[in-house]
Structure 1
Amino acid sequence: MPLFRILSLLLLCWPFMALADLRVEVKGVSGDLKRNAEAYLSIRDYVKRKDLDQATVERLHRQAGPELRESLRPFGYYNPFIDAHLEGEAPNWRATYTIDPGPRMKLTRVDIEISGDGAGDFDRAIKHMHRLLEEGDPLLHSDYDQAKSILTSVAYAKGYLDAHYVESELRVKPSDNTAEAVLHFETGAQYHFGDFTIDQGDVTDGQRLNDAFLRRYVPIKPGDVYDPQVVLNAQFALSDLGYFDSVEVQTEHDKAVDGRVPLVIKTKPRNRQHYDFGIGYGTDTGARGSVASDFRRLNQYGHSLHLETQLSQIKTEAAGEYRIPTGNKAGEMFTISGNIGEQDYKSGKSYLHGVGVGLVRLPGKWRQQPYIKYLHEESHLGLDDTTADLVMPGMSLTLTELDDSIYTRKGFSAIVDVHGAARNVLSSVSFVQFHGTARAAWPLMRRSRVLLRYEYGANLTGEFGRLPASQRFFAGGDDSIRGYSYQSIGPRDADGNVIGGNYLTTFSAELETRVWGNVGIAEFFDGGGVSKDPAPELHYGVGAGLRYRSPVGTIRLDFGHALDKDQPPVRLYIGVRVGL
């Protein structure tokens, strides 16, 4: 093909080959007015389109005027002046819209009227509505919508299930720039709770829970004023018991008799048995695995059994707990427990077994657990060989408030345990032990969080040598003082073996920042010590690490440096953090 013909063909196709360029600009207004105007403009949705033609752009330009007028009305502007200009031709256009919003509508009349049996129950709601809609104020549609919703939400919360608006109008008069709000509301009768039934679904008699047992957890009391929050609390209460996959509370409003609303609580049971298997690796524990099983609904009164076996390079333990629900709150129970295991320490081993009973109570925010436990332990730490039999009454307190139980950005937790034993009262040594740990998380900007931890422990005893290993304090390791090996900090015997101490202090501060997706970095400072005296010598560690936020927790890879001169320059720690 001759060069001249090729050039001629390219020139003919040039208008179709060129990329379209459409620019849209809104002038004359700012803030919410401008943002809403731009959101209403259909022509802005075509700015990045490369297949535009002249007819499409002109059509969109014609639509712009009505769209901009509509965008201004929620703010009370019904008489705007809009100067619209379209310049250029295919493939380049520039659309400019200059807006003069004009005068704003003014509320000249606010007519709020409540009628019906419950008219006197809405005084506070009416005052709130008048603060939103006041004669003489500029018109704002969102204020009207918010005021209108107040009565319906309050009515439902107070049990007026038939409440409705007889008349609800926003009357705008663009001719004189005025508006009237008319809200006439009929409350109807106030409803009360009727009887409720609990439908446990298609379960066999052996798995069906006693109806009276379940009812003690339901806060619905027939005769009380219908309250949707109580209905929601009932759903949460039964869900928290752990017996059901789903709980749904159905309000049968249409079957109400004499103002009493019956309810049906439909449940879907969980499997009677549940098994968990885990495998992993931690710097302190080495390779580890676990097997756990839950046996739910052992009888009609909700008794359950939890069994768990944990295996690692330093610890082997099998434990079981029989749980008997008590009280009227999910989580309150009487427990019978037992365990057997062995653990490696820095300078020896310990073998133990024990049984105990406890009572879990939830009187407020604190989880309280008074208990009594029998422990037999044979421990060998350096030059110390100890055999102990202990009958230990104690109390455990737990307080937790987290915004996310897996990845906590804001929250705190506190765990405190006090227990002891008396020699010659079925025990081989007298002591009282206090052990407490507090943790907190605080968000720092959008991608960072600060994590804080403080731990303190104390044994009051004059017979330290008789204490078994599990009742002594050690420090060092992944969840203690990074930079030091696991349980390497503590008093030593004549041969230099770590044998633990009576007093423990550890603390940590960490800054964690996400840098890309779920990947982050962290810097930390740890400190603490263990001694036979109340004020132990402190050891410090610093370091940095990598973080990966997974569905099961934060996977941590830390490099810790101990500030003591006799320690290796860097220790590697691998673990998973759940919550705090």
Structure 2
Amino acid sequence: MKYVVFCMFLMFFSLLSSAQENVVVRKVKFRGNKHFPNSRLKDEITLESSNWFKQKILGKEPVSYNSKLYYDDIKRLKVFYQKAGYYHVRFEKPGVVVTKNKKVKLTLYVTEGEPIVISGISYQVDSVYRLGEVLGSGEQRNILFRSEASESKIFRDEDISKDRLTIAEVFYDEGYPFAVVDPKLDVDTVKNTTKLNWDINRGPLTYFGPTNVVGNSRIRTESILRQLAYEEGEIWSKKKIDQSQKNIYSQGNYRVASVKTQIEQQPVDTLPMQILINEAPRWSARFGAGYGREDKLRAFTDFQYLSFITNTGRLNFYAKHSGLEPYNVYVKFSQPSFLFPMNTLTLHPFAQQQDEPGYKLDKVGYNVTFLQNFSKELNTSIGIIFEDVSVDTSGFSESNTSQEVESYYKKRGIVIGGIYNNADPILDPVQGFAISFNTKTNDIIWGSEMPFFRLLGEFKTYLGIRRGVVLGLKGKIGGIKRTDDNTFIPYEERFFAGGSHSVRGWSRSNLGPHDENETPIGGNSLLESSVEFRFDVGRKMKLALFADAGNVWAKSFSYRINDLHYAAGAGFKIKTAIGPAGLDFARPVFDDAKNWQVHFNIGHTF
């Protein structure tokens, strides 16, 4: 009966709207939608409003209205609502208005109805067991805490699909690669509720069989097998397979490194493994060039030679030129899997010149660093660095030069750092957070001429408010202090604020202490924060509204909240394969300085 009524409605509307066929759509709006905004519903339909901005700036062709497009859109909207739990959704007779310039304004009237709500969730394993009888408490929490569906929540197809994979992965990691997970529903259309019962068939407990390596010629099989997170005869685990693949690929010698289970058609208790290797060429080179408002013309080259000295060693020769780094040249030898599968030892001699607004220096030296990756999200490092530094003091005032500047010094220090980053996706995050820290000591252990310690921490988080709208927040704090009676801190170790990745109402390094010649001289304490709203405008463009705050102080570990400087502005980004690229426009607020700053960036500022 409902189908007959719907068909009669479509026939009536077809007669009503025949005069408006093939007329450009000027505007589409919805009425009666309470649970989904207009913007979300418009994502599901083909009939898209047209205006000058979309046509001329975004390059979108106008959409012409016809009844077939309308019928298809109604079907898509009904499917969308039903997948979201609104099984009783109805669409009433639409409003169609033709404007004087022969364009259509379309109003779609929605009656959403009451959603289907989950009244209970149960689990049954192999038809006889409860979840707690086959899984430990940790695995049960993994399912319960990661599940999207829960009691009293609206039943959504998307949640069920995600939970189905979540449950299956838990059993995969417990040694059941043939596990089958099915949702069984008991729907009450009168009460608008459903009971959700997960029916889980584990299949046989399975073990790792022998591992065969295919495709390697230069890298020894033993070097690859050392990276495995499992041994033959252990209980099969998808988590260990994923970790093994990451361990192998981290050696940096492969185009492809794939660890696969050779699944049999019929369930068995032992599965052989295969590692498919496609080695990277021994010689490779990268070149790049670009232009930025701060670093001007920049160019770099990077040559890499694989299997250097050792079977998996890597040698890189890198050279770069820009306005901020007239030269930066280094050679780096990297030995992956130095002690454990996911660590790397690097030896890195370098020569570099820096030409910042506040200082100019040349330095040569080398560092030895031990990198440890604990997971995809967590990475740490510890290193020893040796540097000889020459500073050009001609740009500083006489008072500043006589009191605070040393033109030549040596540094010997230990650097420890770490970052945890689960922001996703990595190039244009819409959720997650990142927290990082870096500590550096100089001459404290050796007890030489310039003992100091330096701390820097940063926190960034991303909150997806709704589809196409993201709120980004950033906080950054740093401090540096001498441990003897001297006050001089090397310029390259001091903190500077202002610029495209700092407080954007100021040019690079120009926020903070200056000398008598108005040359920025940096400080020993840093505090910064930013808030940014990012909006999708079409498929290729983002707009941003932001506010930044921060300052640098001369005294070590001294932060004065009432002495912060503020800036606000807007920007736009074009989405590219390497991340967003665009411009930010900002100016100081609540401040005597009123100059606008323009910053070009590839990638988000944070």
TM over 0.5: yes
Give the drift of 1:357. 0.6
Residues 363-374 of structure 1: pairs in structure 2 closer than 5 A:
363=374, 366-374=378-386
1:436 to 450, 454, 457: 457
Which of 473, 495, 507 aligns to 1:452? It is 473
Partner of 1:539: 565
The aligned counterpart of 2:427 is 406
- Counterpart contact for 1:464–1:502, Cα < 8 Å: no
Question: What is the distance in 1 between the residues matched to 2:296 and 2:166?
Answer: 59
Contact 1:506–1:528 (Cα < 8 Å) also in 2:
yes
Aligned length: 445
- 2:598 is matched with 572
- The one of 220, 227, 231 equivalent to 2:230 is 220
Amino acid of the residue matched to residue 557 of structure 1?
A: L
Q: Report the counterpart of residue 531 of structure 2 in structure 1.
A: 509
Call closer, same or farther: CA 1:185–1:486 in 2, change over 3 Å.
closer
Q: CA deviation at 1:263?
A: 2.2
- Gaps in structure 2 of 5+ consecutive residues: 1-12, 17-65, 70-123, 144-160, 182-198
State yes or no: 1:356 paired with 2:363.
Answer: no
Distance 1:151 1:344 in 2: 55
SS of 1:492's partner is: coil
Q: How far did 1:433 drift?
A: 0.8
- How far 1:268 sits from its partner (Å)? 1.3
Q: Distance in 2 between matches of 1:529 and 1:386?
A: 27
Identity %: 19
How far is the alpha carbon of 1:218 from its aligned partner?
A: 1.0
Q: Which has the larger radius of gyration?
A: 1
2:515 maps to which residue? 493
Distance 1:164 1:445 in 2: 33
Cα distance in structure 2, aligned partners of 1:566 and 1:150: 56
What SS does structure 2 have at the residue aligned with 1:567?
Answer: coil
The aligned amino acid for 2:522 is: G
Shift of the 393–235 alpha-carbon distance from structure 1 to 2, 3 Å rule, reads closer
State how 1:140-151 maps to structure 2 within 5 Å.
none
User: Please, which of 294, 307, 330 is the counterpart of residue 284 of structure 1?
Assistant: 294
Structure 2 Cα separation of the partners of residues 151 and 491 of structure 1:
57
Quote the RMSD (CA, aligned, Å).
4.4
- Local SS of the residue matching 1:553: coil
Matched residue SS, 1:355: strand
> CA, structure 1 residues 347+362, in 2 after alignment: closer, same or farther (shift >3 Å)?
closer
The answer as to whether partners of 2:251 and 2:336 remain within 8 angstroms in 1 is no
Q: By how many angstroms is 1:303 displaced?
A: 0.9
Deviation at 1:424, TM superposition (A): 9.8
Q: Is the 8 A contact 1:210 1:300 kept in 2?
A: no
User: Aligned pair 1:520/2:535, yes or no?
Assistant: no
Alignment of 1:258-407 (within 5 A): 260-299=270-309, 301-315=311-325, 316-326=327-337, 331-363=342-374, 366-381=378-393, 382=396, 383=401, 384-407=405-428
Letter in 1 for 2:466: M
Cα shift readout 1:87-122 (whole Å, capped 9, x = no counterpart):
xxxxxxxxxxxxxxxxxxxxxxxxx9969xx99999
Equivalent residue for 1:417? 438
Partner of 2:497: 475
Shift of 1:391: 0.6
Alignment partner of 2:581 out of 555, 558, 572? 555
> In the alignment, residue 200 of structure 1 is paired with which amino acid?
G
Structure 1 residue 244, shift from structure 2 partner: 2.1
Counterparts of 2:600 and 2:488, CA distance in 1:
35
SS at the partner of 1:212?
Answer: helix
Question: Equivalents in 1 of 2:426, 2:604: separation in Å?
Answer: 7
Q: Which of 250, 255, 262 is 1:245 aligned to?
A: 255
Match for 1:369: what amino acid?
A: S
Contact 2:437–2:455 (CA under 8 A) maintained in structure 1? yes
Contact 1:281 1:575 in 2 (8 A): no
Alpha-carbon separation, structure 1, partners of 2:223 and 2:278: 17
